């Protein structure tokens, strides 16, 4: 029965996301055309003017369906509320950043300290809530060892780090048509199944709704993309996915199922370190690493397909562990 509910949630969120995305594309096209970085792959210059901020559809669909599921099908309403709060909160940070860059034509958008500061505030609220008011409080599940470890006073900084790392890793992954939306749909499906396995319905329902919303958006975001999610979508997806995983005490499974995100973020970190250490030499042709493969001659669609397949393997490994 639970899997039937998950299927209904995914289907409902997919349909709503498709409808909202289709409606928002002509509106965004008038006001929110994407600027393409000149230093990026030259093939991407043809994408200039593609409407951005399409993540609004993902946020609306996933929030509405997951909230409805919480009221109709069960699960902790307070847990669902805090997940949706983080999801929308990070989406709003991305929205304001996109608004300044895309509509107001301010290339800087939000200042780094503003964006990071707002992310920290939302992450701390989540961490404090979970440490003091959630079942299991400061416990963290350790995969493979199949045990829970009490992080005690380190739980809040650990949780804040997980949210910030995952949010910005998903943001870095959003660089090719259908990459972030496809990968996140798969990872969300994994956490929906994982949530059901442990009877954690709120997290499972939210992840199912996010999976459906990503799939509905992917219909228009696959190559050649008719719309981009922008920071509005990528920050929301990262924040929502991290919040759901943390609420379910499965945050360390993000490293396994979401290994693509980890690799994308590490490629940027290693590129910067190597560049500074060698006086200007590059470890990768371009970072994040999906651009490295593009610059090596692989087509955008092949890179995206390879990353999707890799994510399927990672999620399968995660299911084997749980």
Query: Which residues are part of a known binding site for Mg(2+)?
Result: 171, 231
Dist. CA 194–CA 189, nearest whole Å: 9
Binding residues: 171, 231
State the DSSP code for 199. Answer: T
Dist. CA 230–CA 94, nearest whole Å: 7
DSSP calls for 44-85? GGGGTT-B--THHHHHHHHHHHHHHHHHHH-S-HHHHHHHHH
**For helices 155-173 and 179-197, angle between their N-to-C axes, nearest 10 degrees:** 140
Measured from the Cβ of residue 154, the count of other Cβ atoms closer than 10 Å reads 12
- Where are the strands (E) in 111-167, listed by range? 139-142, 147-150
Q: Which residues pair with 6 in a beta bridge?
A: none
Element (H, E) at 94: helix 77-98
Q: Taking the CA atoms of the chain, what radius of gyration do you get in angstroms?
A: 19
Per the document, the length of the chain is 322
CA dist 67 to 35, 84, 118, 226, Å? 34, 8, 24, 28
Token representation of residue 57:
């559809």
Distance of CA 96 to the CA centre of its chain: 17
Dist. CA 227–CA 33, nearest whole Å: 9
């Amino acid at each position: 029965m639970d899997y039937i509910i998950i299927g209904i949630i995914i289907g409902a969120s997919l349909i709503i996301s498709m409808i909202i995305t289709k409606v928002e594309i002509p509106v965004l096209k008038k006001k929110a055309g994407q600027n393409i970085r000149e230093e990026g792959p030259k093939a991407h210059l043809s994408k200039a003017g593609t409407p951005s901020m399409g993540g609004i559809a993902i946020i609306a669909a996933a929030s509405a369906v997951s909230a409805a599921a919480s009221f109709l099908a069960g699960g902790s309403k307070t847990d669902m509320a805090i997940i949706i709060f983080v999801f929308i909160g990070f989406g709003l940070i991305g929205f304001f950043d996109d608004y300044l860059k895309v509509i107001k034509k301010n290339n800087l958008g939000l200042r780094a300290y503003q964006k990071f500061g707002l992310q920290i505030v939302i992450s701390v609220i989540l961490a404090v809530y979970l440490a003091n008011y959630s079942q299991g409080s400061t416990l963290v599940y350790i995969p493979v060892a199949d045990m829970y470890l009490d992080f005690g006073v380190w739980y809040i900084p650990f949780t804040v780090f997980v949210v910030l790392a995952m949010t910005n890793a998903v943001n870095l992954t959003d660089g090719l048509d259908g990459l972030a939306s496809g990968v996140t749909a798969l990872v969300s499906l994994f956490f929906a199944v994982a949530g059901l396995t442990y009877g954690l319905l709120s997290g499972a329902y939210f992840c199912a709704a996010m999976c459906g919303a990503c799939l509905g958006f992917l219909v228009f975001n696959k190559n050649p993309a008719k719309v981009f999610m922008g920071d509005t979508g990528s920050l929301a997806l990262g924040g929502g996915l991290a919040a759901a995983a943390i609420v379910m005490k499965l945050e360390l499974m993000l490293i396994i199922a979401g290994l693509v995100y980890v690799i994308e973020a590490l490629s940027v970190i290693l590129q910067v370190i190597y560049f500074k250490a060698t006086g200007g030499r590059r470890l990768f042709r371009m970072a994040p690493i999906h651009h490295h493969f593009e610059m090596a001659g692989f087509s955008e669609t092949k890179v995206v397909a390879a990353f999707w397949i890799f994510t399927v393997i990672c999620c399968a490994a995660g299911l084997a562990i749980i």
